Amino acid sequence: MKILFYDTKSYDKDTFTRELEHYPGIEIKFLKTDLTHNTAELSHGYDAVCAFVNSNIGTKTVEILHENGIRLILMRCAGFNNVDLATAHRYGIRILRVPGYSPEAVAEHAMGLALTVNRRLHKSYIKVRENDFSLGSLMGFNFHRKTAGIVGTGKIGAAMARICHGFGMNVLAFDVYENPALKDFAAYVSLDKLLAESDLVSLHCPLTDSTYHMINRETIQKMKDGVILVNTSRGALVKTEDLIEGIRAHKFFGVGLDVYEEETPNVFEDRSDEILEHSVTARLLSFPNVMITSHQGFFTREALAAIAQTTLDNVRVFESGEASPNDVNA
């Protein structure tokens, strides 16, 4: 089985090459370029392609893949909103994905952001490097005995709830479904109550029509003054303009973002030599109590190894012809 991997970085190559020794008969060629209708032609002579979150697998791309004899699209991520499923299925191309890999990776990063903005670690790192050993502006507050509000208690939200419980926090939860795994230490409440009572609000629900801009001027007003907001889920859960307004009004003690609305052209790219035209990210970064990371929540050894294993298991499933819960259906 010959697979062409698109949009690969050195860490993808390293992780998959390590796992590959357990999967004899699978051959991989790694490409740096991403999969689009301009690069789909390169798949000639392969059985499958493997793509990532920002690949553009629209109608034209799928048509070229089909003409090249591709029978399998492997998504090495959970999302598949970038794939024209109907066209792929019409051509009999199977799509398999990695629905979950390491919830703890993302949850631990969420707590990392919360701790960073709380204790101003991003400021103290710079200060001490400049021989400034003063403590001015670094005062935080204890998480112990404060309240954490977890919005979305699926795999990642549940892991974050466990971490907050471990910190000695009182845990409030909001979800459209209650997760029984949390019943011993978390209380499900309405979103309004969660916002009103939480010292730390952490977002862990998917981006859907009902969650789009769920954090906006109105919901920010419902939050406690001096709250910490963390978003490791999807940028558009938060209406950025309203967040900036809230930060300017001193509503937040701190804001930690692993995702933000404008992130798409930035994610995983080194743009340090460029003058960025849009100013929203720059405006957010201008505030001393905001910390932004670039969609790195998933980025641990364990998560990458799990992604590689599931992707290669998906190849085996394809070869066996069996159905799988990892199948993406239109």
The pair of three-digit structure tokens given for residue 180, joined into one six-digit string: 């029984």
Our CB check for ligand NAI shows the closer of 210 and 329 to be 210
Q: Which of 64, 94, 116, 157 binds ligand NAI (CB under 6 A)?
A: 157
Which amino acid type is present at position 161?
A
| Residue in 97, 204, 234, 261 annotated catalytic | 234
Q: Which of 155, 162, 224, 251 binds ligand NAI (CB under 6 A)?
A: 155
To the query of whether residue 234 is one of the catalytic residues in this protein, the response is yes
Our CB check for ligand NAI shows the closer of 40 and 186 to be 186
Q: Determine if 80 is a binding residue for ligand NAI (CB under 6 A).
A: no
Q: Which candidate, 3, 92, 94, 6, places its Cα nearest to that of 47?
A: 3
Q: Contacts by 137-145 with C-beta closer than 8 Å and gap 24+? A: 137/288, 141/199, 141/253, 143/114, 143/115, 143/118, 143/167, 143/168, 143/169, 143/199, 143/200, 144/168, 144/169, 145/169, 145/170
Q: Which of 97, 120, 123, 204 binds ligand NAI (CB under 6 A)?
A: 204
To the query of whether residue 295 is one of the catalytic residues in this protein, the response is yes
Q: Determine if 176 is a binding residue for ligand NAI (CB under 6 A).
A: yes
Q: Are 325 and 133 in contact (CB under 8 A)?
A: no
Q: Determine if 232 is a binding residue for ligand NAI (CB under 6 A).
A: yes
Q: How far is the CB of 230 from ligand NAI (least distance, A)?
A: 11
The pair of three-digit structure tokens given for residue 32, joined into one six-digit string: 């740096």
Kindly state the number of chain residues that form the binding site for ligand NAI, as judged by CB under 6 A.
29
CA angle centred on 258, ends 242 and 164, rounded to 5°? 95
Q: Determine if 97 is a binding residue for ligand NAI (CB under 6 A).
A: no
Distance CA 20, CA 90 (A): 31
Interface with ligand NAI in residues 277-306 (CB under 6 A): 295, 297-298
Q: How far is the CB of 291 from ligand NAI (least distance, A)?
A: 14
Distance CA 36, CA 197 (A): 46
Q: Binding residues for ligand NAI, per CB under 6 A? A: 100, 103, 106, 151-157, 174-177, 204-208, 210-211, 232-234, 258-259, 295, 297-298
